[in-house]
Amino acid sequence: MSTSTRLLTGVLATTFAGTLLVSAAAQADREDWPESFTVGTASQGGTYFVYGSGWANLVADQLGLSGGGEVTGGPTQNLALVHGGDVAFGLTTMGPASDAVNGKSPLAPGVKMDNVCAMFPMYETPFSITALSDSGITSISEIPDGARIGFGPAASTSDTYFPAILEELGVNFDRRNGGWSDLGGQLQDGLLDVIAFAAGIPIPAVSQLEVQTDVNIVEFTEEEQQQVLDKFPVSAFQIPASTYTTLEEDARAVSMWNFAIAGCDLPEDFVYEVTKLTMENNDKMLDVHRSAATTIPENIQYNTVLPFHPGAARWYEENGYEIDPSMIKQ
């Protein structure tokens, strides 16, 4: 055997052995991974279902696992399902998350859900108020006592938190529930005075109203916004003027962030790889749903409620995004 042949053989053998070692290490790292996983979403056809199911498929395909989205009752139920280990992952909003960790979940009163960890930010849900122009309502303080206000579907994030926000701001009202389009129609027909929705913008029902009649998009004053920020797990938000034809400039509002959550007892390496995949492939996430434009690591700051999973925290810290140690699950 020539010297060059022996050298080539040695290099190939070393490369093969190295490949085996890497493969063995990768396999060893996955020994405690689940073979399949489920993501708790919400009702079929909604943003949570589309986002969650698409994300589950992306993770399953890229990591070679079996996974998918599951229809659930939404943010509040997802917290309970993740806490109990019924699903590995879920989608939720900061309001129900705050209630869950403080033992105030309506699904399990008194139970502090301490097996729920944050993974990554999804998008924010703005709280916006609309009235007909001929009502004369141009500010929150002008909403009359006993006003009939439509808050969206019963038990939705909108219906759970918007009434409490308006009560905090001194508004007395007659509470009404229903689907977005139905309530928009009731406003136009004079059966409601105001609609107060927490939903992705532009809200189709409001856009439709604009086509048919004159409306006012009622913004928060700086003082009202700060009062709500101090009291509720919400963030400051500006509704861009381009959202509705009615707006001539951005409108001040508040929003509630949506986060993906994981069982705190899931393997650290598993959650690390899922977080890494999600945070490093925003183009693929945008293919899942356009709201993923804000599914970026800079927005982890908007979780002030849930501890981060150690696997997720490791990826953020490795990539220069600091998390207060007290906000990492021990």
The DSSP H or E segment spanning 61 is helix 47-63
Q: Assign 301 to helix, strand or coil.
A: helix
Strand-pair partners of 220: none
Residue 7 has pLDDT above 80, yes or no: no
Burial class (CB in 10 A: 0-12, 13-18, 19+), 307: buried
pLDDT reported for residue 1: 54
Q: What is the mean pLDDT of residues 247-254?
A: 97
Break the chain down into helix, strand, coil percent, rounded to 5.
45, 20, 35
Whole-angstrom Cα distance, residue 194 to residue 207? 15
Whole-angstrom Cα distance, residue 278 to residue 132? 42
Whole-angstrom Cα distance, residue 86 to residue 82? 6
Going along the chain from its start, the domains and CATH numbers come out as 35-124+257-327 (3.40.190.10), 125-256 (3.40.190.10)
Task: Please report, rounded to a whole number, the percentage of residues in the chain having pLDDT higher than 90.
Answer: 79
How many of the other CB atoms lie within 10 Å of CB of 298?
A: 9
Q: What is the mean pLDDT of residues 276-287?
A: 98
Two structure tokens written together for 176: 């009404």
Residue 25 has pLDDT above 70, yes or no: no
Q: Which is higher by pLDDT, 137 or 4?
A: 137
Q: What is the pLDDT of residues 81-135, one digit of tens each?
A: 999 999 999 999 999 999 999 999 988 999 999 999 999 999 999 999 999 999 9
Residue 257 has pLDDT above 50, yes or no: yes
Q: What is the mean pLDDT of residues 297-323?
A: 97
Residue 19 has pLDDT above 60, yes or no: no
Whole-angstrom Cα distance, residue 305 to residue 105? 14
pLDDT reported for residue 42: 87
Name the residue among 153, 154, 82 with its Cα closest to residue 119. Answer: 82
Whole-angstrom Cα distance, residue 76 to residue 97? 7
pLDDT reported for residue 238: 96
Q: Read off the pTM.
A: 0.80
pLDDT reported for residue 236: 94
Q: What is the mean pLDDT of residues 242-266?
A: 96
Residue 140 has pLDDT above 60, yes or no: yes
Which range has the worst mean pLDDT, 10-14, 54-58, 277-281, 317-321? Answer: 10-14
Whole-angstrom Cα distance, residue 58 to residue 293? 16
Name the residue among 110, 112, 55 with its Cα closest to residue 264. Answer: 112
> Max alpha carbon distance in the chain (Å)?
97
Task: Please report, rounded to a whole number, the percentage of residues in the chain having pLDDT higher than 70.
Answer: 92
Q: What is the mean pLDDT of residues 318-326?
A: 97
* Residue reference for tokens 């199911």: 53
pLDDT reported for residue 77: 92
